[in-house]
Structure formats: C-alpha cells, structure tokens
Amino acid sequence: MAQITLNNGHLYTLDFIRPNQIGKSCRLEDIKMIIEDMAQENISGATVKDEPGITKMGNLKLNSFSVDFNSKTEKYSITIFFDEVPQSEIDLAKERAETEAVSHFIALGLQNAEIKDVIKWSKFLEDWKPRKFPYKKGERFKFGGNPYEVVEAVTSSENSTPDKDDKHYKLLKASENSQDKPKVEIKPWNEKTTYSKGDLVIARGIVFISKIDNNKGNEPGFGNAWDYYKEK
C-alpha cells in the first residue's frame, strides 16, 4: 500500500493511487476531516511513498469525491478526485499574495508617515469600518477615498461617518503636517547595532520598536524581538 504525507504533516495509508485520484478505507466519521485535509496547499507537491519509490504529487486541487460502503466488510472507502492546476494559475495566486503583502506593509507604514505621504499613498490605507469598530487615537484609514486620522478614541457607527464627526476624526489635508509631533530621529535598522528595549528603527519603510534589550541581528518584522510602532 502507498502512503502519502501531506504538506501539513498528516500521513495517510492509501488503498490505491492513480493519476489525479487516491482512494483509502476510512471510518464514516473521518470523511469530513480527510476532505478538509486535501486542500490545494496540502496536496500539491505532497510526498508519496510507494513500491517504485518516493515521488511527489503534482499541482492539484480538489475536484470531487465519492464514498462507498462494503456490506461484506462493513467498511467505508473514499475516492478523491483532483484537477491539475495550471502553472499560470499558481503564478497568479503567488503574485496576488505578494501584492497583498506589500499593500499590508505599506498600510502599516502610513500609520506613522508624514501627512503628505499619507495623502499621496492613501489608496493603501484600510477602509473605514462602520460597524462598531474600536478605533484608537492616531489611527489612520480612508473614507470616500480620502485619508482620515482618529483624534479621539471612538467606536465607529454607520450613523456617524468620518466626514460628519469632526470630534473623533479629522480629514488629513496637504496644508497640514506632522511637525506638531515631537521630532524623533529614527534611523534604518542595522544588523550590527545592538538595540535596547524601546529603541525605534525603520525597516522596509516601516517603524519598529524593540521589545527586548541586547537586540542584535534580529531583523524587524521577523521573530519576536520587534513590534510595529504606533505613536500614542
């Protein structure tokens, strides 16, 4: 019998394996879990150990499945069918994921950027959430395509939109600047520098704050040594 190790580490013993389909005996209560396990990110490139040796599954996604019951053995078996995923579809999904990641990092950076930069790149800000979202002072978002900043902590309400509630929100304008905030020189992160808890650095256009002392060689955005910095 063949064995397949999915990308999430789960191991299954199979009754058979054929091009774009696999089959195995199972309990009725395990069927839902098995199907959920066969997601594209788990099955594509999964390792198969069979008599010929060790091979890899192709780029696959779940198509359908069928369940049979053997009245003689009183056992269930499931056959799962997959579709080949074109490389172009994989590349497009990867490109979208990378674009979303970049947009996310830019949005985080805009929380501490100069107002002129926030206005220029406001399309990357998150949209205002109208349904009871707790906003903190200083948070920025866009509403109606325009950038806003929270001037006083508030729980959002669709009956009190940012353009009508100047007590809690302000529209960021080009005539404004953030010079009213104390200037703190924030230098780019240097892997050879040892940072103390509370030190600020810039990495990939984002401001980070050190969470620990003797912080050296830990790249911001990876691991637990740094956190995203937000002015209070």
pTM: 0.42
**Taking every pair of C-alpha atoms in the chain, what is the biggest distance, in angstroms?**
82
User: What are 58-75's pLDDT values in tens digits?
Assistant: 889 999 999 999 888 888
Question: What pLDDT is stored for residue 3 in this prediction?
Answer: 93
pLDDT of the residue at 107: 81
pLDDT of residue 184: 57
Buried residues in 144-176 as b, exposed as e (16+ CB within 10 A): eebbbbbeeebebeeeeebeebeebbbebeeeb
Compute the distance between CA of residue 191 and CA of residue 219 in angstroms, rounded to an integer: 7
- pLDDT tens, residue by residue, 103-145: 777 888 888 888 888 888 888 899 999 988 999 999 999 999 8
pLDDT at 55: 84
Ranges in the chain, pLDDT < 70: 175-185, 231-232
Question: Within 10 A of 65 (CB to CB), how many other CB atoms are there?
Answer: 17
**What is the pLDDT, as a whole number, of residue 182?**
46
Q: Which domains does the chain have, with CATH numbers?
A: 2-85 (no CATH), 93-171 (2.10.10), 184-232 (2.10.10.20)
- Burial (0-12, 13-18, 19+ Cβ within 10 Å), 142: buried
